[in-house]
Structure 1
Amino acid sequence: MENAVVSRGFGQAPLYKIVKSRLLEGLTAGEWTTGEALPSEAKLAARFDVSIGTVRKAIDELVAEKILVRHQGKGTFVAVHNKDRTLYYFFHLVGPDGVKEFPTSELLSFGKAKAEAAVAEQLRIARGAPVFRFRNLLKLQGRPVILDHITIPQALFPDLDEEALRKRESTIYALYQARYGINVIRAQERLRARPCDAEAAKILGLASGAPILEIHRVAYTYNDVPVEVRLSTANTEHHDYLNDLGKGQAR
């Protein structure tokens, strides 16, 4: 990261956007890791040769995007993936009363594969590149509600195995962050209703052909780099899908 002239190569971009980009470069390079405090705004201003106000505006955007978090009186820190973060930013099923509960998780399968064309394009990797695929079942109050089919590039998670997934202390995204330094900061989802296929129906306790919600998600880390493709089959018979854009969006 440059210490003085921060505008090189950015044309007429606003100065705070350039500082934001430099901060993202540092995060991507692991200069500041999970839960770690960034230098003070004064130190960052001196580093980039800009005003404290410019640094603050750049940090404000990163806080709004849930990449950083401010702790009053302590400073600004790299956001940590935990159950609360996952519950409010990446899990969207609620009961009829609007209450959201954290689901229990069960790993159903794990294996290696080669990326087919569609997944390769979404992950921006070569067709046939090695990937990990695993199925994960989420339950609420003991009732199966979501069956996830997850695909991630082996290149980003080289030593991941079934044991690591089964014995993880927290969420899958927390594992990505703690073990590989990959911070999922946002996810793009597409939803559609369709009849449930026989395999998903059996796992979710539904009749084959019952209506389900299909959710296609691509998860991204810094600089909009895709790190995960997830196809979820959700049973919304007893739950609603609620994504509160004012509270629950990662960006």
Structure 2
Amino acid sequence: MIGTLAAGALAPHPLYKEVKSRITRDLAAGVWKPGEPIPSEARLARGFGVSIGTIRKAIDELVAERILLRQQGRGTFVATHSEDRTLFYFFHIVGKDGSRELPMTEMLSFRKTTARKEDATRLAIAPGTPTLRIQNLLKLGGKPVVFDDIVVPGALFPDLDEHTFAGRDGTIYGLYQARYGINVIRISERLSSALATGTVAARLAIEAGAPVLVIKRVALSYNDTPVEYRVSTVNTAAHEYLSDLWKTEGR
């Protein structure tokens, strides 16, 4: 909810950072939902009791972080998880020539379980907490390339079942956003090399012991709240990992 910023609360950080933090909290609270416009810069400036320049600087950072999206002549909107956004922002596996395509996803299993130690650490929950574990096979060019093992806290997705997950219209993050109001705004990934185990090798149609890339990803919502932990095993015979970085002031 927009409200004038108290002068005493501004000392530790630049003013625009305080504004950015307040806007982010409002987004987390669902004041403005995905796909909806936020108020104009002039209205926000009046509401926060700051200059338009301060508002613009805060919004510039949120746009650079792809939390908000500016549309020429229309205004600024809360970003939604379209397939294009997923392909160019969250999916980093490309052909050796740099070509990109949205993978075809086959769900292999969906089950209720409890958090293992590593799951709990990555999701900031207690070991043994109820979770959902989903395994997917991602195909590029009709061939299996990525084996995903996904864990999410059951409390965040109380009625998510196999039918809903498999029958979603769009991406996984789009489902989180549209059905549960959970907006993945950034990811943290750790990469390592490994040798394919028998089970994973069979899924990827490669020999056991073949070299693979392992990506351990935590998906984060507002205020860096972890909402998903995913371990992806990638056959890099014809594909590689590509991450395009961008820079915003203060990073």
Give the TM-score, by structure 2 length.
0.95
Runs of 4+ residues deviating >3 angstroms: 6-11
Indicate the larger mover: 225-234 or 237-246.
Answer: 237-246
- Which secondary structure does the structure 2 equivalent of 1:155 belong to? helix
Aligned equivalent of 2:213: 213
CA distance in 2, matches of 1:143, 1:6: 57
TM superposition shift of 1:246: 3.7
- RMSD after superposition: 1.4
TM superposition shift of 1:96: 2.3
TM superposition shift of 1:5: 2.5
Paired letter, 1:14: P
Runs of 5+ unmatched residues, structure 2: none
Q: Is the 8 A contact 1:109 1:135 kept in 2?
A: yes
Cα shift readout 1:192-236 (whole Å, capped 9, x = no counterpart): 111100011111000011111011001100111111100010001
Residue 227 (structure 1) aligned with residue 235 (structure 2): no
Residue 59 (structure 1) aligned with residue 59 (structure 2): yes
Aligned equivalent of 1:13: 13
CA distance in 2, matches of 1:183, 1:84: 16
CA distance in 1, matches of 2:14, 2:93: 39
Cα shift readout 1:114-154 (whole Å, capped 9, x = no counterpart): 11222112111122111110001100111000000000001
Paired letter, 2:128: G
Paired letter, 2:196: C
Aligned equivalent of 1:97: 97
Indicate the larger mover: 200-209 or 9-18.
Answer: 9-18
| Identity, % of aligned positions | 57
**1:107-186 matches, cutoff 5 A:** 107-186=107-186
Cα shift readout 1:36-85 (whole Å, capped 9, x = no counterpart): 00000011111101011111100000000000000001000000101100
TM superposition shift of 1:241: 1.2
Q: Is the 8 A contact 1:40 1:75 kept in 2?
A: yes
Residue 191 (structure 1) aligned with residue 191 (structure 2): yes
CA distance in 1, matches of 2:245, 2:98: 15
Cα shift readout 1:155-177 (whole Å, capped 9, x = no counterpart): 11111111111111100000001
CA distance in 2, matches of 1:116, 1:132: 11
| Cα 1:147–1:55 shift into 2, 3 Å | same
- Which secondary structure does the structure 2 equivalent of 1:43 belong to? helix
Paired letter, 1:234: V
Q: Is the 8 A contact 2:112 2:133 kept in 1?
A: yes
Cα shift readout 1:7-45 (whole Å, capped 9, x = no counterpart): 554542111001101101110000000100000001111
Runs of 5+ unmatched residues, structure 1: none
CA distance in 2, matches of 1:164, 1:130: 18
Aligned equivalent of 1:44: 44
| Cα 1:160–1:43 shift into 2, 3 Å | same
